[in-house]
């Protein structure tokens, strides 16, 4: 699947999504918002993919919102913000939130600028691998705005509140090492794409139902009451035990020479 600004290629069960607007530093215009939304929704429905790797073409992952293309027209801003119900994600939020809903690991490969909307997209992932030369900023405050693309869901999980407030209030640009130190990214690497491939390959050795159940357990219950987390652990485990992949996982461990393949995961 390829659009003018986002491409999707699937290799051996791993989906590679590329932001493809390098001449604009992969800045987000309306076409890119819609393309990311379409691709991520499609991947959520694909029960055969095992991992997703998202990267940006060119020197930068994503420099943020294309302000001239989006904010110069009030109708575009209203399209991004519109939603039927307050608690549902709008188009602006889905480019980050949708990654959280895909029941496989989502890994961001980051180089250059990862600012504003670009950081919001990256925060939707489970892992963020970045080059040493990459930079990060919650830049919405520079334009008199607040971050409103659902990245706050992850931000509250991975950094202290005072750190999040400082970054958002100042719109400060920080280097990769500082981002790593405060928990904003997972790892700094000279070859983040290679690192992402290695992690994806490692996870694909595990049952797709166990991986999907684990992601849902952590994403939806991390801050919930103890009793609810305990209940969800048991419920998801029963679902996994009743599926074929758990038995296949046992066979793969006991007879690795037989090269048994997992079946398509359950609907999570």
Domain boundary among 160, 178, 203: 203
Query: Is 99 in the same domain as 174?
Result: yes
Whole-structure pTM value: 0.94
In a domain, 25, yes or no: yes
Domain boundary among 156, 178, 203: 203
Report the pLDDT value the prediction gives residue 78, as an integer from 0 to 100.
Answer: 77
Q: Name the maximum alpha-carbon separation found in the chain.
A: 61
In a domain, 146, yes or no: yes
Query: Is 85 in the same domain as 177?
Result: yes
- In 3D, which of 143, 134, 97 has the Cα closest to residue 116? 143
With beta carbons less than 8 A apart as the criterion, state whether 43 and 15 touch.
Answer: yes
Report the pLDDT value the prediction gives residue 72, as an integer from 0 to 100.
Answer: 65
In a domain, 1, yes or no: no
Report the pLDDT value the prediction gives residue 74, as an integer from 0 to 100.
Answer: 66
Query: Is 192 in the same domain as 237?
Result: no
Query: Is 108 in the same domain as 17?
Result: yes
With beta carbons less than 8 A apart as the criterion, state whether 52 and 15 touch.
Answer: yes
Query: Is 134 in the same domain as 229?
Result: no
Query: Is 71 in the same domain as 189?
Result: yes
Question: pLDDT tens per residue, the chain (268 residues)?
Answer: 556 899 999 999 999 999 999 999 999 999 999 999 999 999 999 999 999 999 999 999 999 999 887 766 667 777 888 887 888 999 999 999 999 999 999 999 999 999 999 999 999 999 999 999 999 999 999 989 999 999 999 999 999 999 999 999 999 999 999 999 999 999 999 999 999 999 999 999 999 999 999 999 999 999 999 999 999 999 999 999 999 999 999 999 999 999 899 999 999 9
In a domain, 65, yes or no: yes
In a domain, 268, yes or no: no
In a domain, 94, yes or no: yes
Query: Is 142 in the same domain as 242?
Result: no
Query: Is 199 in the same domain as 212?
Result: no
Report the pLDDT value the prediction gives residue 82, as an integer from 0 to 100.
Answer: 87
Query: Is 45 in the same domain as 148?
Result: yes
Report the pLDDT value the prediction gives residue 1, as an integer from 0 to 100.
Answer: 58
Please give the tally of structural domains in the chain. Answer: 2
Domain boundary among 203, 224, 241: 203
What the block records as the tokens of 153 is 């869901």
Query: Is 179 in the same domain as 49?
Result: yes
Query: Is 198 in the same domain as 87?
Result: yes
Domain ranges, residue 251: 208-258
What the block records as the tokens of 88 is 């549902």
Report the pLDDT value the prediction gives residue 226, as an integer from 0 to 100.
Answer: 97
In a domain, 234, yes or no: yes
What the block records as the tokens of 74 is 């009030």
CATH number at residue 12: 3.90.226.10
Query: Is 93 in the same domain as 152?
Result: yes
């Amino acid at each position: 699947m390829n659009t003018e600004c986002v491409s999707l290629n699937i290799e051996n069960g791993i989906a590679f999504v590329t932001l493809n607007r390098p001449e604009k530093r992969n800045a987000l215009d309306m076409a890119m918002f819609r393309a990311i939304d379409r691709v991520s929704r499609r991947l959520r429905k694909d029960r055969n993919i095992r991992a997703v790797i998202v990267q940006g073409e060119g020197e930068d992952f994503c420099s943020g919102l294309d302000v001239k293309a989006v904010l110069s027209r009030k109708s575009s801003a209203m399209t991004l913000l519109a939603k039927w119900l307050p608690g549902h994600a709008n188009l602006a939020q889905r480019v980050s939130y949708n990654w959280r809903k895909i029941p496989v690991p989502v890994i961001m490969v980051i180089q250059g600028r990862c600012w504003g909307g670009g950081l919001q997209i990256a925060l939707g992932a489970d892992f963020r691998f970045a080059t040493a030369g990459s930079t990060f900023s919650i830049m919405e405050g520079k334009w008199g705005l607040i971050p409103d693309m659902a990245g706050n869901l992850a931000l509250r999980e991975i950094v202290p509140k005072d750190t999040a407030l400082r970054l958002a209030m100042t719109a400060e640009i920080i280097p990769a090492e500082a981002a790593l130190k405060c928990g904003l990214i997972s790892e700094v690497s000279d070859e983040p794409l290679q690192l992402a491939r290695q992690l994806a390959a490692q996870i694909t050795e595990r049952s797709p139902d166990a991986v999907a159940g684990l992601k849902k357990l952590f994403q939806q219950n991390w801050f919930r009451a103890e009793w609810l987390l305990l209940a969800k652990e048991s419920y998801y485990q029963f679902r996994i035990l009743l599926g074929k992949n758990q038995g296949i996982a046992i066979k793969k461990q006991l007879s690795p020479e037989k090269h048994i393949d997992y079946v398509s995961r359950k609907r999570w």
